[in-house]
Amino acid sequence: MSEAMLAIGTRKGLFLARSADGGPFEIEPIQFSTVAVTSVAIDTRGTTPRLLAGIEYGHFGPSVMYSDDLGKSWEEAPQPPIAFPEGTGATLAKVWQLVPSPSEPGVVWAGVEPGALFRSEDGGITYRLVESLWEHPHREHWEPGGGGLCLHTIVNHPTDPAIMGVAISTGGFYRTADGGRSWSAANHNIRAPFLPEGQQYPEFGQCVHKVGMDPARPERLYLQHHFGVYRSDDFGGSWQDIGSGLPSDFGFPIVAHPSRPGTIYVLPLRADMDRTPVDHLYRVYRSDDAGGTWRPFSSGLPAGPVHASVLRDAMTASAAGVFFGTRDGEVYGSRDDGETWSLVGGHLPDVLSVRAAVL
């Protein structure tokens, strides 16, 4: 029997949903009630899956919890699992991203606010600061985006641990080819229309919203910018605009199909000052030719006007299907590559992060 799991992080708790043999998802009772769950991960690399949750305890501060029994119980490191060294003068504000490395057993990466990268070598229990990125000369010039100065995206090459990329708002996309010993800005040809004329193609300072990797062709990346949707065929060496076929090039999530080369998904919003779905309808746009053309899909989604947006980490694609959660607490899923959709759960708190996996 096959089983799929959804991990849904919300403003007021974590919800796990499970499905057996392609049946409907059953949402389990809330965990971490009233606690913001800003990031989630389902680590299936070992014989026993491990769940990870980046939580925000209000005045108690952020932390990372882990579970080795699919959420029946949770543990936390005896000391704060993520903490800035004293000499940095920084304090952890939020855990934005938790990503198990696909090519290094036991390694988990964490992206945090203020914009920094941490590495765990014990499966996500404890972490240490990646000082090479923290000490990058550009860092002192990074400015917070609307959500803060956050490292919100980590992209790992599936077979080569030396190659990875990160996105910082509003630093831009940075990449390494030596396992994180050195980092370089990789934002060539990305336009920042909010900057003055003549300064709209900066080396860094880009407001990147999300980056996804094509798993079948890992040198190919897809990027949702504050305005603009882009593709890179050389792991960020240069970018080309692929948003001309969309009704709006503003949005937050962008995800790649786990096994179909060139297939990607976005959910456009009207504009930065009107962050509602285009035409007040949820329509997931899919491209099957790496952004050359786009088609909207909405079968099974609400027909009436909707007003809630979808955040950068609230959309995911895996072998379990394609899923997204909204800011008004609804989660939708598709098991036919986005052709049709169904409601997984409603009346949840504001959805912040969604991950799915086949166990």
CA distances from 322 to 115, 288, 354 (A): 28, 15, 10
**Average pLDDT rounded to a whole number, residues 22-48:** 96
Overall average pLDDT of the 210-225 stretch: 96
Report pLDDT for 1: 61
pLDDT above 90 for 58: no
pLDDT class of 2 with cuts at 50, 70, 90? confident
Q: Is pLDDT above 80 for 285?
A: yes
Average pLDDT over residues 180-203: 94
Q: Residues of the chain with pLDDT > 70: what percent?
A: 100
DSSP state of 49: -
CA distances for 169 relative to 48, 73, 166, angstroms: 34, 34, 10
Structural domains for the chain? 102-107+114-358 (2.130.10.10)
Q: Can you tell me the mean pLDDT for 5-10?
A: 98
| Predicted confidence (pLDDT) per residue in 274-283, tens digit | 999 999 999 9
pLDDT above 70 (res 45): yes
Q: Are 213 and 221 in contact (CB under 8 A)?
A: yes
Q: How many CB atoms are closer than 10 A to CB 203?
A: 12
More confidently predicted of 22 and 357: 357
Q: Which residues pair with 219 in a beta bridge?
A: none
Against a cut of 0.95, is the pTM above it?
A: yes
Question: What value does the mean pLDDT take over residues 252-263?
Answer: 97
DSSP secondary structure letter of residue 320:
T
pLDDT digits (tens, 9 = 90+) for 115-165: 999 999 999 999 999 999 999 999 999 999 888 999 999 999 999 999 999
Please classify residue 188 by burial: count the beta carbons closer than 10 Å to its beta carbon, then call 0-12 exposed, 13-18 middle and 19+ buried: middle
Q: What is the reported pLDDT for 52? A: 98
Q: Above 90 in pLDDT, residue 59?
A: no
* pLDDT mean across residues, the chain: 96
